[in-house]
């Protein structure tokens, strides 16, 4: 797998999205799946940086592992923050989405957009690290 | 692409033009603009998004915040958002709370 590291600060999000855009282009993803993957990775990376690192007073990197096979683009975000499973949190349900803006509690939207935007999303904690895995299927041409 | 925002308030209408990418870093700038206009008497918030290429949930949160801060009577218009941003608004049900238009005044 290819590996690239980014400093765990919000200023990195821009270059992280740009890098994901390059990977998506190499994999031949269309515009919409490319955007959805950038969005998914931006959301999870934001959580890692704000809650895993900044709120905990930690300075560490976010590592992007990637692999392009004939059928899919796999991206894994690896971080050293406290164990956090994004899938462990309750997602907003239809009741939430029918609420008017002023009645909404804030939160959960990012993880909803992540899961909704990629073909597969999974989480693993191993060797003291969080691993958030994103898979995009490459459409046969 | 670097995020930029311009803001004009006139006749109870606040018009904000957003450029670039709206993520959790740039959402702070967006929120600061909302805080500035929240003290003024406005009934419409017009967000020109034609030049906005990316919006994460941090941007959605500022939309929700605007309504909560300025008040439920505030009308939010989004001018010419790009297709993928409309997708995000639809997925999260926010399109029911804002009006998507091609121009403003409508």
pLDDT of residue A70: 87
| Cα end-to-end distance, chain A, whole Å | 24
- Break chain A into its structural domains and give their ranges: 2-137
Cβ contact, residue pair A38, B54, below 8 Å: yes
Q: How confident is the model at residue A77, as a pLDDT?
A: 98
Cβ proximity of A58 and B53 under 8 Å: no
Chain B neighbours among A 77-106 (CB < 8 Å)?
96-98, 100-102, 104, 106
Q: What is the rounded average pLDDT for all residues in chain B? A: 95
Joined together, the tokens standing for residue A2 give 């290819």
Chain A residues touching B23 at Cβ < 8 A: 10, 13-14, 17, 42, 46
Give CA separation, B43 vs A80, B10, B15, B62, B103, in Å: 46, 11, 11, 17, 17
Interfacial A residues in 22-81 facing B (CB < 8 Å)? 31-32, 35-36, 38-39, 42-43, 46, 50
Average pLDDT on A11-22 reads 98
Q: Is B91 on the interface with A (CB under 8 A)?
A: yes
Which CATH superfamily hosts domain B4-101?
STAS domain (3.30.750.24)
| Of residues B96 and A101, more confidently modeled | B96
The residue ranking higher by pLDDT, B17 or A90, is B17
pLDDT digits (tens, 9 = 90+) for A22-34: 999 999 999 999 9
Q: How do the domains of chain B map onto residue ranges? A: 4-101
- B 7-26 near A (Cβ less than 8 A): 21, 23-25
Taking CA atoms, what residue in B is nearest to A49? B24
Q: Pick from B65, B25, B27: which is nearest to B45 by CA? A: B65
Note whether B13 and B19 are within 8 A (CB): no
- What pLDDT band is residue A113 in, cutting at 50, 70 and 90? very high
Q: What is the pLDDT of residues A43-54, one digit of tens each?
A: 999 999 999 999
pLDDT band at B106 (very low <50, low <70, confident <90, very high): confident
Contact flag A46-B21 (C-beta cutoff 8 Å): no
State the nearest Cα–Cα gap between B98 and chain A, in angstroms. Answer: 9
More confident residue, B53 or A106: B53
Of B57, B71, B97, the CB nearest to A100: B97
Asked if pLDDT for residue A105 goes beyond 60, the answer is no
The CATH number corresponding to A2-137 among 3.40.470.10, 2.60.120.10, 1.10.1520.10, 3.30.565.10 equals 3.30.565.10
Among A102, A114, A118, most B C-beta atoms within 10 A, so best to mutate, is A102
Does the distance separating the beta carbons of A101 and B56 come in below 8 Å? no
- A34-48, A95-109, B68-82, range with the lowest pLDDT: A95-109
pLDDT of residue A74: 98
In this prediction, residue A89 carries a pLDDT of 72
ipTM, two decimals: 0.94
């Amino acid at each position: 797998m290819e590996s690239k590291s980014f400093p765990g600060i919000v200023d990195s999000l821009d270059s992280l999205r740009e890098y994901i855009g390059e990977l998506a282009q190499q994999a031949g993803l269309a515009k919409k799946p490319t955007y959805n993957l950038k969005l998914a990775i931006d959301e999870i990376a934001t959580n890692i940086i704000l809650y895993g690192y900044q709120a905990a007073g930690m300075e560490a990197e976010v590592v992007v592992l990637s692999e392009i096979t004939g059928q899919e683009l796999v991206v894994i975000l690896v971080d050293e923050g406290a164990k956090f499973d994004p899938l462990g949190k309750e997602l907003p349900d239809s009741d939430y989405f029918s609420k008017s803006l002023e009645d909404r509690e804030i939160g959960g939207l990012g993880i909803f957009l992540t899961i909704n935007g990629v073909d597969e999303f999974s989480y693993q904690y191993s060797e003291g690290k969080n691993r958030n895995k994103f898979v995009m299927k490459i459409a046969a041409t | 692409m670097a995020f930029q925002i311009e803001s004009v308030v006139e006749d109870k209408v606040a018009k904000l033009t957003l450029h670039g990418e709206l993520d959790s870093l740039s959402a702070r700038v967006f929120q600061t603009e909302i805080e500035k206009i929240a003290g003024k008497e406005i009934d419409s918030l017009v967000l020109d998004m034609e030049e906005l290429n990316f919006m994460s949930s941090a941007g959605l949160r500022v939309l929700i915040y605007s309504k909560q801060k300025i008040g439920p009577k505030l009308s939010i218009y989004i001018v010419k958002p790009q297709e993928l941003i409309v997708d995000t608004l639809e997925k999260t049900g926010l399109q029911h709370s804002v009006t998507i238009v091609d121009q403003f005044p409508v």
